[in-house]
């Protein structure tokens, strides 16, 4: 039996094995995460359906039917399992207010994705450019002003920056729409994405700068120069791949935090994305929706981490061969 398994193992390529191991390791964490979030929502005081109805009394029969529809009378663990079954089979059902959750997701996922991608494009462009420039021209004028500027950018609370930008560029100068998505893809998303990107690039640029300064003085770079490699080859083959390693870890952590940040940005700029959906669902105590969105966030977290590790393997021979 064991010999048989070994033979199968030998046939499976390394990357598939790596992939399978990571997915299997994620399953128990996923169960704990969803169970924990569901328990937290379950423990919230108050009856969600009563609050939805406001002051008007609901007929007992309607209430009973609604409670049965959302399994609200079942014990905790049954409710959790039913929710998970719905999520895994793709039957998302409706919100308490009657909206189709699958439709909501179809509308909202693109909003959050557009915002995140645009913000990351800004952050990466600025971060890579200034980080690399400052790293190679250490103690120059740009480097010094960058250090000061990034310190301020890292320190300003997001809330202050969002409001200030909204007021200055939206209300006063009217360069961008103040809030909402009525004006379509690039225009409506530009302002929030620019603010998120500019706030976020500070950390990236600083990290890249430090990393480049360290790599340029590393022994393997001196060796490469000593054996007579051209400057271009030293830069592209030896310095940059190594200097980018800590940056990739940072990007992974940063992307994973995007969902939490989306709750704040989407509520300030009134963008109907997943963060806003999550916030409304928590306020209305819709356990099913909260767990569904947490599952989505968890899956994207696992996928991002997987991609980061794969990228790490591409860049770092020690990881690839070890």
Partner 1 sequence: MADVQSLSGSVGAEAQELGDGRTLSNRELLRALLRKPQFVLCTLLLLVFFTMAAVPKLFTSVDPRFCELAKSRQGRGPGHPFGFDIQGCDYFANVIYGARPSVLVSICASFGVFLLAGSLGLLAGYFPGFVDGLISRTADVLFSIPGMVVLIVILNSVQNRSIWIIVGVILLIGWPGGMRLMRATVFSVRNREYVLAARSTGVPPVRILRKHVFPNAMAPLLAMTTLGIGGMVGLEAALTFLGVGLQPPSISWGSQFGVAASYRDTPHLFIWPALFISTMTISFMIIGDSIRDALDPKLLR
Which residues fall within 8 angstroms of residue 83, CB to CB, at 6 or more apart? 38, 71, 287, 288, 291, 292
**Which of 132, 191, 193, 278 forms a contact with partner 1 (CB under 8 A)?**
278
* 157 sits near partner 1 (criterion: CB under 8 A): yes
Q: State in angstroms the smallest separation of the CB of 46 from partner 1.
A: 8
Percent helix, strand, coil in the chain, to 5, is 80, 0, 20
Which is nearer to partner 1, 33 or 81 (by Cβ)? 33
Q: Specify whether the CB–CB gap between 118 and 189 falls below 8 A.
A: yes
Rounded Cα gap, residues 265 and 185, in angstroms: 16
* 200 sits near partner 1 (criterion: CB under 8 A): yes
Half-sphere exposure of 105 (CA within 13 A, CB side): 16
**Which of 107, 142, 159, 303 forms a contact with partner 1 (CB under 8 A)?**
159
Q: Specify whether the CB–CB gap between 130 and 201 falls below 8 A.
A: yes
Q: Specify whether the CB–CB gap between 192 and 269 falls below 8 A.
A: yes
Q: Specify whether the CB–CB gap between 248 and 312 falls below 8 A.
A: yes
Cα distances (Å, whole numbers) of residue 186 to 156, 167, 176, 189: 26, 19, 10, 6
Q: Specify whether the CB–CB gap between 241 and 211 falls below 8 A.
A: no
Which is nearer to partner 1, 240 or 263 (by Cβ)? 263
* 298 sits near partner 1 (criterion: CB under 8 A): yes
Which is nearer to partner 1, 26 or 236 (by Cβ)? 26
Taking Cα atoms as reference points, which of 300, 278, 287 lies closest to residue 116? 300
Which is nearer to partner 1, 221 or 229 (by Cβ)? 221
**Which of 1, 11, 141, 171 forms a contact with partner 1 (CB under 8 A)?**
171
In DSSP notation, 15-27 reads: HHHHHHHHHHHHH
Taking Cα atoms as reference points, which of 206, 210, 308 lies closest to residue 253? 308
* 267 sits near partner 1 (criterion: CB under 8 A): yes
DSSP E strands: which ranges in the chain?
none
Q: State in angstroms the smallest separation of the CB of 262 from partner 1.
A: 9
Which is nearer to partner 1, 43 or 226 (by Cβ)? 43
Report 235-254 residues binding partner 1 (CB under 8 A). Answer: 246, 249-250, 253-254
**Which of 263, 306, 307, 315 forms a contact with partner 1 (CB under 8 A)?**
263
**Which of 198, 256, 307, 315 forms a contact with partner 1 (CB under 8 A)?**
256
Q: State in angstroms the smallest separation of the CB of 303 from partner 1.
A: 12
Q: State in angstroms the smallest separation of the CB of 115 from partner 1.
A: 13
Q: State in angstroms the smallest separation of the CB of 156 from partner 1.
A: 5
**Which of 156, 303, 314, 319 forms a contact with partner 1 (CB under 8 A)?**
156
Number of H helices and E strands in the chain, helices first, is 15, 0
Query: Phi first, then psi: what are they for 180, rounded to 5°?
Result: 85, 170
Residue 107-146 contact track with partner 1, rule CB under 8 A, x = bound:
----------------------------------------
- Contact residues for partner 1, defined by CB under 8 A: 29-30, 32-33, 36-37, 40-41, 43-45, 151-152, 154-160, 163-164, 167, 171, 196, 199-200, 203, 206-207, 210, 246, 249-250, 253-254, 256-261, 263-264, 267-268, 278-279, 282-283, 290, 293-294, 297-298, 301-302
């Amino acid at each position: 039996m064991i010999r048989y398994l070994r033979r199968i193992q030998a046939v499976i390529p390394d990357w598939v094995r790596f992939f399978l191991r990571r997915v299997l390791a994620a399953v128990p964490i996923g169960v704990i995460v969803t169970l924990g979030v569901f328990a937290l929502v379950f423990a919230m005081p108050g009856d969600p359906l009563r609050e939805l109805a406001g002051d008007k009394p609901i007929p007992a029969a309607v209430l009973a039917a609604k409670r049965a529809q959302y399994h609200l009378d079942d014990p905790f663990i049954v409710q959790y399992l039913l929710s998970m079954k719905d999520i895994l089979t793709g039957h998302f059902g409706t919100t308490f207010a009657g909206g189709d959750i699958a439709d909501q997701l179809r509308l909202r996922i693109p909003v959050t994705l557009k915002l995140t991608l645009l913000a990351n494009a800004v952050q990466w462009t600025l971060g890579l450019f200034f980080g690399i420039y400052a790293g190679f021209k250490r103690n120059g004028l740009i480097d010094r002003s960058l250090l000061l500027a990034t310190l301020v950018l890292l320190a300003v609370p997001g809330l202050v920056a969002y409001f200030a930008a909204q007021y200055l560029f939206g209300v006063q100068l009217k360069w961008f729409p103040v809030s909402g998505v009525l004006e379509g893809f690039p225009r409506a998303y530009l302002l929030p994405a620019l603010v998120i990107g500019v706030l976020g690039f500070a950390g990236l640029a600083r990290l890249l700068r430090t990393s480049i300064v360290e790599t340029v003085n590393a022994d393997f770079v001196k060796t490469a120069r000593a054996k007579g490699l051209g400057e271009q080859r030293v830069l592209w083959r030896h310095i940059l791949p190594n200097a980018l390693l800590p940056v990739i870890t940072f990007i992974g952590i940063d992307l994973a935090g995007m969902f939490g940040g989306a709750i704040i940005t989407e509520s300030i700029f009134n963008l109907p994305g997943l963060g806003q959906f999550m916030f409304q669902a928590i306020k209305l105590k819709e356990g099913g929706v909260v767990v569904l969105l947490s599952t989505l966030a968890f899956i994207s977290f696992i996928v991002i981490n997987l991609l980061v590790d794969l990228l790490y393997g591409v860049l770092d021979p020690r990881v690839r061969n070890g």
